[in-house]
Structure 1
Amino acid sequence: MELGLMKAGRFEQAQRQHIATLVRLGEGREALAGREIIQRSWRRCVDDYRLDPSRPRPVRVLTHAALVDSREPVDELLYVARAGVDQLFAQVAPMGYVLLLTDRHGVTVDFRGHPDQDAALRRAGLYLGADWDERHAGTCAVGTCIHEARALTCHQREHFDATHIALTCTAAPIHDPQGRPIAVLDISALQSPRGLESQSFGLPLVTLYARMIEDAYFLHRYRDTTILRFDTTRAFVHFNGRGLLAFDPQGRVLAANGEGRALIDAHAQRTPPAPIWVTQLFEAELDDLLALPRCEPDQLRALRLRASGEIRFAALVEPRGGRARRRDATVTGTTEDTATDIATGMTTDAATASHDPVAPTSTPALDRLAGDDPAMQRLLGLARRLCRQPLNVLIRGETGTGKEVLARALHASGDRAEGPFVAVNCAAIPEALIESELFGYLPGAFTGGNPKGMRGLIAQADGGTLFLDEIGDMPLALQSRLLRVLAEQEVMPLGAERPVKVALRVVTATHRDLAALIAEGRFREDLYYRLNGAELVLPPLRERADRRDLIQRLFAALAAEQGVSVPLRGDALNALLDAPWPGNVRQLKSALAFALATREGERITVHDLPEGCRADLASVPPTPPPSAIPATTQVGHDSDDASAEAESLARALAQAGWNVSQVARQLGVSRPTLYRRMRRHGLVPPNRREALRD
């Protein structure tokens, strides 16, 4: 405790010294010292922002509603930046750093931190919703990066506000494809060595990841456009080409990343500003550039720059639509209905028997079950080797992972594809009926049965596949009879004197631990080994690396079923990627169906998802009261700005006759966002006011 008090005393002394230095600077009694970029910022704080160094300002933290509004314009960037943010944080977290991604105004819209430092990070403003605009936070990495439009480190006492002098922060700007600042990437630590040289690793690392995120955003935004990717080195073009130029079919440049803009600037020095054509930048014909993927062995070509004569190596990133059309020309036999079935990953909830001969296609059904998830690819590789073998297969996986879908794909890809596929949910049939359902019975076998008798489900699967879902719930007495069916390949209907021969393959599935059931005496060990000729284990949705592809395919299939064309916005996709999905693909399908059925706007946003799936918003903490965290201040928008917004919004609503959809389109926001703004300003439609009075 004494050590803690000593440290607190030294920090307070350092704060007083820092404030005294700034006061003397403001009074003109002390000259600026230190790095030039920090000097300029301190001068702005004193001369332009009129910040009082003797009164440290509490950190501004946006309210939950204001934070949601701030995230909306950058939701697409947040979606693209996820991988880079996670990778960078994984590198710096062991050294005690947290990560902030802010919008172009300095508001923290994404955050990665250490849970054990939660309270300290909140007090320091290293948290979701914190506003690091230089005008009120003073000199700091994020705010000064925005003002100076360059990457920098702001280390300890280089911060203007005495509240922040223990922090060390490094930030780099992120630009949109037109070169406009759109966000800032920052790493910060509560404590670090005193010397600035200790932070030499931070600047190149953050700058690298900011460029990677910027380029990923560029490729995402122009995924439907032809892109020329280039570099000074042939070996890096395909993997990390520094230059990106998007151009239309006529060759006019539409957008460029930082390296591409440098090329355009060099051209502009020689030629008056005008529409830029890609052939003005490189000594090449447009047809030659468009033919790169087909005419060059390594899909690369050396090009000479017109401005300097230097050599660049270039490759073409073709538009998404072009790639899809070529795939369609070479892949046949895949129907949209089949793709929908495969994407859903649904299992039958009640006992069903379906004579479902699935015609084989030129693209095996197994190939459509997954994207690039390694676990799924290993599973499918094994399944392809098993599909034509006579072995019985046991499929294990959590509820909703798609066990029946995998079973159907095995059937459709094997040599029994022309035969029936009979699916039975052992947990859904009452125990008193399961024997008669499976084995069938003759007329008069028991009271209450069909007077004509019934052919059992096992016999119905003759020549095809019998799929027994939830096999772990089969009654123990019935397991002995099933064992005999497997051993003898014959079934004895109730009331019959002679068995009936059957030729079938048995695929079983369970979410239960059969080994544990065997140990408890609730499942026959000999039956287990009969059923488990080979075992396939489906990973849960939360562990699959191809979640994004699966979500998008499933959403497209559901939208097509409903005959609607509705985009899934980035914030919704991020929330779906972050959700834990205890119900796996079945739960995902239900969530997407819910969003499509209840959407309020022309896009699916995070607010259209069921509450349980909003993991992204659930991570946004409720803004604590000022008393809870003395070092921070809650803000929505500045009071003058809020008043002006309320007046402008009320006027727009009145002019539109309180047509919320019309006003939302005019303002370029979604209806849920507009409703939130109306609630924040207390704006209620006239008919609602009358109803409230009544």
Structure 2
Amino acid sequence: MRHADYVARQSQSNSATSALTASWRRSLFKHGLDPADARRPERLTLEELSQRRQAMDPFLRVAAPQLDQLFNLVGLSGCNVMLTDADGVVLDQRVNGADAEQFRDWGLWQGTLWSEAVQGTNGIGTCLAEGRQVTIHRDEHFHTRNTGMSCMDAPIWGPDGRLLAALDVSSARAEQTERYNRLISAQVAQTARAIEAVFFRASFPDARIVVADDTADAAVLLAVDQDDLAIGATRAARRALGLEREGAIRPRPAADLLGRSDDLTGFDKAERAAVVRALARSDGNVSAAARALGIGRATLYRRMSRLGLAEKSG
């Protein structure tokens, strides 16, 4: 049976419930794609690509050394290392000259668009569509023309908790096995976590970065300011600590989030930190903060003035 016919039949089967089949169904029914379509992937103009790269420049600069390290590990085995934006546009890559022609012919090249909406099931697009690590091996691809490649991908989440990029390693070698793919996939995931952590640290240059949990699966990091308020959190930290899913987080005492003692002999003895924590817990209500500190409202106002702390407006 032809690959295109098999994909269409499985996509329409009520008994097929795998994650792969779900992606095929999205490709066929939601996006209206044809698995037999042999057209090459769309490619942005040089100006369009330049604009996207400029918008992501701080991230790309941080990620570049990690891409180099990953390519040093997998490049000799005929692999192409690529980094995309959240739309699936390839912004940066590492590839050996001997393999470049094959990858360019497949469209695995800077400026090409690999979203699931336009390419169907593929490593980059499906990783971004589902927000999780995926491996799409050869005939698991939606389009027949992509069945010669194996793609291992992991998502990268931004400091704001939103999906920022996908890290991809694709292979042009027909002899590459699924077992070897698993080894590469583990390295891709590790590199994606490293890029995410490095970019998070770079996004809060004046903050102290605290490891909020010990896990090998994700970067669970908090950015803590001089007053010991948590002002930033990675996606994994947001999930683990029940913080806002996306966007800026409401500053909270790091001691509260980390389950540490909040008295003056515990997390911080400084008077300023104690006042700031009380204000944060009361969401800026000076009266409530004063009661929590066991002092009068007027006294707290005097201390706030002396410490250079302004009352929260609105």
Per the normalisation by structure 2, the TM-score is 0.76
Counterpart CA distance in 1 for 2:268 and 2:49 is 44
Q: Report the counterpart of residue 86 of structure 1 in structure 2.
A: 68
Q: Report the counterpart of residue 209 of structure 1 in structure 2.
A: 191
Amino acid of the residue matched to residue 70 of structure 1? R
Counterpart CA distance in 1 for 2:167 and 2:198 is 14
Q: Report the counterpart of residue 253 of structure 2 in structure 1.
A: 277
Distance change >3 Å, CA 245–CA 116, structure 1 → 2: same
Counterpart CA distance in 2 for 1:49 and 1:166 is 23
Counterpart CA distance in 1 for 2:188 and 2:130 is 16
Please report how far the alpha carbon of residue 17 of structure 1 lies from its aligned counterpart in structure 2 after TM superposition.
Answer: 1.2
Superposed, which structure 2 residues align to 1:71-110 within 5 Å?
Answer: 71-110=53-92
- Deviations 1:70-95 (Å, cap 9, x if unpaired)? 11221100111111110011001122
Please report how far the alpha carbon of residue 36 of structure 1 lies from its aligned counterpart in structure 2 after TM superposition.
Answer: 2.1
Q: Report the counterpart of residue 123 of structure 2 in structure 1.
A: 141
Distance change >3 Å, CA 42–CA 249, structure 1 → 2: same
Superposed, which structure 2 residues align to 1:509-528 within 5 Å?
Answer: none
Superposed, which structure 2 residues align to 1:119-518 within 5 Å?
Answer: 119-193=101-175, 196-232=178-214, 242-265=219-242, 275-281=251-257, 282-285=259-262, 288-289=266-267
Please report how far the alpha carbon of residue 38 of structure 1 lies from its aligned counterpart in structure 2 after TM superposition.
Answer: 1.2
Residue pair 1:173, 1:185 contacting (<8 A) in 2 also: yes
Amino acid of the residue matched to residue 260 of structure 1? A
Residue pair 1:167, 1:188 contacting (<8 A) in 2 also: yes
Q: Report the counterpart of residue 633 of structure 1 in structure 2.
A: none
Distance change >3 Å, CA 32–CA 276, structure 1 → 2: farther
- Deviations 1:44-93 (Å, cap 9, x if unpaired)? 01110011223233211111111101112211001111111100110011
Counterpart CA distance in 1 for 2:219 and 2:192 is 13
Residue pair 2:162, 2:235 contacting (<8 A) in 1 also: no
Counterpart CA distance in 1 for 2:47 and 2:214 is 47
Q: Report the counterpart of residue 7 of structure 2 in structure 1.
A: 22
Counterpart CA distance in 1 for 2:263 and 2:39 is 57
Please report how far the alpha carbon of residue 229 of structure 1 lies from its aligned counterpart in structure 2 after TM superposition.
Answer: 2.9
Partner-residue secondary structure (3-state), 1:106: coil
- Deviations 1:602-637 (Å, cap 9, x if unpaired)? xxxxxxxxxxxxxxxxxxxxxxxxxxxxxxxxxxxx
Partner-residue secondary structure (3-state), 1:62: coil
Amino acid of the residue matched to residue 276 of structure 1? R
Distance change >3 Å, CA 253–CA 25, structure 1 → 2: same
Amino acid of the residue matched to residue 220 of structure 2? G
Amino acid of the residue matched to residue 212 of structure 1? A
Distance change >3 Å, CA 232–CA 55, structure 1 → 2: closer
Please report how far the alpha carbon of residue 259 of structure 1 lies from its aligned counterpart in structure 2 after TM superposition.
Answer: 4.0
Q: Which stretches in structure 1 are left out of the alignment for 5+ residues?
A: 1-15, 292-694
Residue pair 1:57, 1:161 contacting (<8 A) in 2 also: no
Residue pair 1:152, 1:172 contacting (<8 A) in 2 also: yes
Distance change >3 Å, CA 22–CA 230, structure 1 → 2: closer
Counterpart CA distance in 2 for 1:32 and 1:277 is 50
Residue pair 1:138, 1:159 contacting (<8 A) in 2 also: yes
Percent identity over the alignment is 30
Residue pair 2:158, 2:235 contacting (<8 A) in 1 also: no
Residue pair 2:212, 2:220 contacting (<8 A) in 1 also: yes
Please report how far the alpha carbon of residue 194 of structure 1 lies from its aligned counterpart in structure 2 after TM superposition.
Answer: 6.7
Correspondence for 1:53 among 35, 55, 62 = 35
Correspondence for 1:70 among 52, 60, 66 = 52
Per the normalisation by structure 1, the TM-score is 0.36
Distance change >3 Å, CA 250–CA 274, structure 1 → 2: same
Correspondence for 1:44 among 5, 26, 47 = 26
Partner-residue secondary structure (3-state), 1:173: strand
Counterpart CA distance in 2 for 1:164 and 1:242 is 32
Compare CA radii of gyration and give the structure with the larger one. 1
Please report how far the alpha carbon of residue 112 of structure 1 lies from its aligned counterpart in structure 2 after TM superposition.
Answer: 0.3
Backbone CA RMSD of aligned residues: 2.7
Residue pair 2:10, 2:21 contacting (<8 A) in 1 also: no
Distance change >3 Å, CA 194–CA 185, structure 1 → 2: closer
Residue pair 1:145, 1:173 contacting (<8 A) in 2 also: yes
Please report how far the alpha carbon of residue 226 of structure 1 lies from its aligned counterpart in structure 2 after TM superposition.
Answer: 2.6
Residue pair 1:133, 1:142 contacting (<8 A) in 2 also: yes
Residue pair 1:32, 1:39 contacting (<8 A) in 2 also: no
Please report how far the alpha carbon of residue 96 of structure 1 lies from its aligned counterpart in structure 2 after TM superposition.
Answer: 1.3
Counterpart CA distance in 1 for 2:239 and 2:81 is 29
Counterpart CA distance in 2 for 1:92 and 1:163 is 24
Distance change >3 Å, CA 186–CA 286, structure 1 → 2: farther
Residue pair 1:141, 1:186 contacting (<8 A) in 2 also: yes
Please report how far the alpha carbon of residue 133 of structure 1 lies from its aligned counterpart in structure 2 after TM superposition.
Answer: 0.8
Please report how far the alpha carbon of residue 255 of structure 1 lies from its aligned counterpart in structure 2 after TM superposition.
Answer: 1.2
Partner-residue secondary structure (3-state), 1:179: coil
Q: Report the counterpart of residue 300 of structure 2 in structure 1.
A: none
Partner-residue secondary structure (3-state), 1:127: coil
Please report how far the alpha carbon of residue 275 of structure 1 lies from its aligned counterpart in structure 2 after TM superposition.
Answer: 4.9
Residue pair 2:78, 2:99 contacting (<8 A) in 1 also: no
Distance change >3 Å, CA 286–CA 218, structure 1 → 2: farther
Residue pair 1:171, 1:206 contacting (<8 A) in 2 also: yes
Residue pair 2:260, 2:267 contacting (<8 A) in 1 also: no
Residue pair 1:57, 1:136 contacting (<8 A) in 2 also: no
Counterpart CA distance in 1 for 2:196 and 2:214 is 19
Distance change >3 Å, CA 32–CA 86, structure 1 → 2: farther
- Deviations 1:294-330 (Å, cap 9, x if unpaired)? xxxxxxxxxxxxxxxxxxxxxxxxxxxxxxxxxxxxx
Please report how far the alpha carbon of residue 37 of structure 1 lies from its aligned counterpart in structure 2 after TM superposition.
Answer: 2.0
Residue pair 2:36, 2:143 contacting (<8 A) in 1 also: no
Superposed, which structure 2 residues align to 1:524-543 within 5 Å?
Answer: none
Residue pair 2:196, 2:219 contacting (<8 A) in 1 also: no
Residue pair 1:153, 1:170 contacting (<8 A) in 2 also: yes
- Deviations 1:206-250 (Å, cap 9, x if unpaired)? 1110000000001111111232235549xx9xxxx9532112333
Counterpart CA distance in 2 for 1:289 and 1:218 is 24
Q: How many equivalent residue pairs?
A: 262
Please report how far the alpha carbon of residue 202 of structure 1 lies from its aligned counterpart in structure 2 after TM superposition.
Answer: 2.0
Amino acid of the residue matched to residue 155 of structure 1? H
